[in-house]
Structure 1
Amino acid sequence: MSWIVVAPFGLWAVVRLSGFEPDFPWVPVVSYTPYALGAALLGLVLACVLRRWAAGTVALVSVLAMTPVVLPRAFADGNPGAKGPALRVLAANLLVGGADTDELTALVTRLKPDVLTLQEFTPAAMRRLEAAGLRRALPHAVTRPVNGVGGSAIYARHPLDAVPMIKIGGFGQARAWLKHSGGTRVEIVSVHPCAPKRTRSTPCWQAGLEALPRGDGKLRVLAGDFNATLDHLPMRDLLAAGYRDAADVMGRGLRATWPQGDPPAHLPGVTIDHVLADSRMAVRAYEVLSLKHTDHRPVFAELQLPR
């Protein structure tokens, strides 16, 4: 019995740490690595109680292997010495445009973001939000509304210069250069690649993440629904390219952002909505919020730009 409990999580640890990412179903399954660590710890306790020392050894190695991957997300990191202006970023997936307009508008009023990125942004959602006064709070916008799940938008307090959006598999990721009042230019991307729900959608998901900009020394913020956790290889590649995850920096990297509210809320929560900031930016605050009539929780980060 102990091997039945221990062996799957030993294999899990090997694959997660291997630098190799198998296709479906591993891609959605690896999102649950924090739960796998907990299960491996339970397997270790069971093996010790039953005096199954070989199984216990495998369980111990699994726990020791996964702990350095998962546990740091619960502890705050340091920050670079950024001394520039603040940049407040809010991101929300609207669930095919159905998220509660009044509640989202209230979040904008309370948090006073400089940037709002929206995913699953539909023409109807745009009409409702702008009728509710969103453009008064955030007068600059790059909007790419689409019926269905592929729409995307960026609203901002500061001027925006649109650049061609990333569009792969019907999923659009709006992009724009924001000119901060302090003169700093920052590229903003409203992130939303395909969801890796089945084998044929995994290449689209991977391509959508690999298409996100990186390198060349320019300041960027990627915010939205990545359909990926920090356990996915494309996300780890993004971080290695010079980004930091705001939740991880603030010690809140284990706070789930999906699902909430509507079905499939019976699934264990995972962290797939992120604000990734250029590693030269400091992260001063981070929150996971609530929003009615969507299955994602909005995420908010306050960043500080370098001079």
Structure 2
Amino acid sequence: MRTRAASPPGRRDRVRTWLCWLAVTPGLVWAAVRLPGLERGPLVQAVAFTPYVAAWAPAPLLLALALRRRWPAAVAALVAAALLGVVAPRALPSPRPPATGPTLRLLTANLLAGAADTRALVDLVRAHRVDVLAVQEFTPRAAAELDQLGLAALLPHRQLNPQVGTPGSGLYARFPISGGGVRLNRGGWGFSQAYGTVTPPGGPPVRVESAHPAAPYAIDQVGYWRTDLTAQLPATPDAGLRVLAGDFNATLDHAPLRALLATGYVDAADAVGVGLVGTWGPYDGDPIPPVTIDHVLVDRRIAVHAVAVRPVPGSDHRAVFAELRLPTA
């Protein structure tokens, strides 16, 4: 009987080495794009899924260690440490600033061109005792339904720009709104952003804006997406307080959003350790894992006490609630 000869040790070693490098390379390329913020074209959409890649990153390391491949193991360890290092802190609370002023409760929701269940939204406003509501993709029909369902009594002050389709935006408040207006983005869909300044009793004035930059849903929209994000108002650490709340169409892994945060904002969900909770997806039945593109960005002098992500039937986005403690006036 003839027996098959065993593979030479050198050949087995080469196969194991190449197998390890094959497993390590995708994470290495991903880190090389994500860490310096080099996402362009279709990579903009891909980078949104960085938390999932970070969760997978230790697998190539374990493989390389099991096969005793020193160099692939070293590179895999660096990749895993880098990706987990930028993602894992979102699941950990950060120290709060010493804010001792009044509480401000804020809710933001994308209404999917007015298709969201307005009754469910008003119920959220009641349940969370919301002081400020920011809405995107806000339509005239949604505006009428919200008032019919009691929002006018709960949040009587408003700066609204309802539009048919997706461009509309609105801002509702329990307190008077001053200096209100509507800002138009330059993106392909022409999303608008309602804004105004609210002053809670005993607290400082806070400028709140319902943010909605363009979506990078196609390669020819990426430029608009980047322009709209770059045009968002920076924080003013030495002046008045600002809050941007809405559908940013960007995650904390996108360089333009990180640059906006660097001006003096804090992502509220990140601050309390729930920054990995998805707010969008799956979309239209497609098997897309949820990503976190809806945010409440607050001046870093504001203390974030709680954040909750809540479903809104009829919308592909989830609402984000944030309980904030303002500095003293």
- Normalising TM by the smaller chain, what interval? over 0.9
1:193 positional shift: 0.7
**RMSD of aligned C-alpha atoms?**
1.4
CA contact (8 A) 1:166 1:211 kept: no
Within the candidate set 19, 34, 57, 1:16 is matched to: 34
1:265 positional shift: 5.3
CA contact (8 A) 2:235 2:265 kept: no
Q: What is the aligned partner in structure 2 of residue 135 from structure 1?
A: 152
Bigger drift between 243-252 and 206-215 goes to 206-215
Residue 267 (structure 1) aligned with residue 285 (structure 2): no
Distance 2:28 2:139 in 1: 44
Equivalent residues in 2 for 1:1-307 (5 A)?
1-18=19-36, 20-161=37-178, 162-169=180-187, 170-216=190-236, 217-259=239-281, 263-264=284-285, 266-307=287-328
Distance 1:276 1:245 in 2: 5
Distance 2:147 2:286 in 1: 29
Bigger drift between 154-163 and 214-223 goes to 214-223
Q: Secondary structure at the match of 2:48?
A: helix
Identity of aligned residues (%): 46
The letter for the 1-side match of 2:183 is M
1:215 positional shift: 4.0
Distance 2:219 2:280 in 1: 21
1:130 positional shift: 1.4
Please list the CA deviations of residues 21-45 of structure 1 after superposition, one character each: whole Å capped at 9, or x if unmatched.
Answer: 2311111111111111122211212
Q: Secondary structure at the match of 1:287?
A: strand
Distance 1:94 1:4 in 2: 43
Distance 1:129 1:245 in 2: 28
Aligned residues: 305
Where does structure 1 lack aligned partners over 5 or more consecutive residues?
none
Structure having the higher Rg: 2
Distance 1:265 1:110 in 2: 31
CA contact (8 A) 1:7 1:58 kept: no
Please list the CA deviations of residues 4-54 of structure 1 after superposition, one character each: whole Å capped at 9, or x if unmatched.
Answer: 321011011122112x42311111111111111122211212222233333
1:62 positional shift: 0.3
The letter for the 2-side match of 1:298 is A
CA contact (8 A) 1:74 1:251 kept: yes
Where does structure 2 lack aligned partners over 5 or more consecutive residues?
1-18
Distance 1:140 1:265 in 2: 38
1:128 positional shift: 1.2
Q: Secondary structure at the match of 1:163?
A: strand
1:57 positional shift: 2.1
Would the alpha carbon gap of residues 233 and 264 (structure 1) be closer, same or farther in structure 2, given more than 3 Å must change? farther
Q: Secondary structure at the match of 2:202?
A: coil
CA contact (8 A) 1:194 1:201 kept: yes
Distance 2:34 2:287 in 1: 25
1:211 positional shift: 1.5
Distance 2:317 2:38 in 1: 25
Distance 2:304 2:203 in 1: 20
Q: Secondary structure at the match of 2:57?
A: helix
Q: Secondary structure at the match of 1:121?
A: coil
CA contact (8 A) 1:163 1:177 kept: no
Q: Secondary structure at the match of 2:198?
A: strand
Distance 2:39 2:26 in 1: 15
Please list the CA deviations of residues 285-307 of structure 1 after superposition, one character each: whole Å capped at 9, or x if unmatched.
Answer: 11011110111110000001101
CA contact (8 A) 1:167 1:173 kept: yes
1:183 positional shift: 4.9
Distance 2:314 2:130 in 1: 21
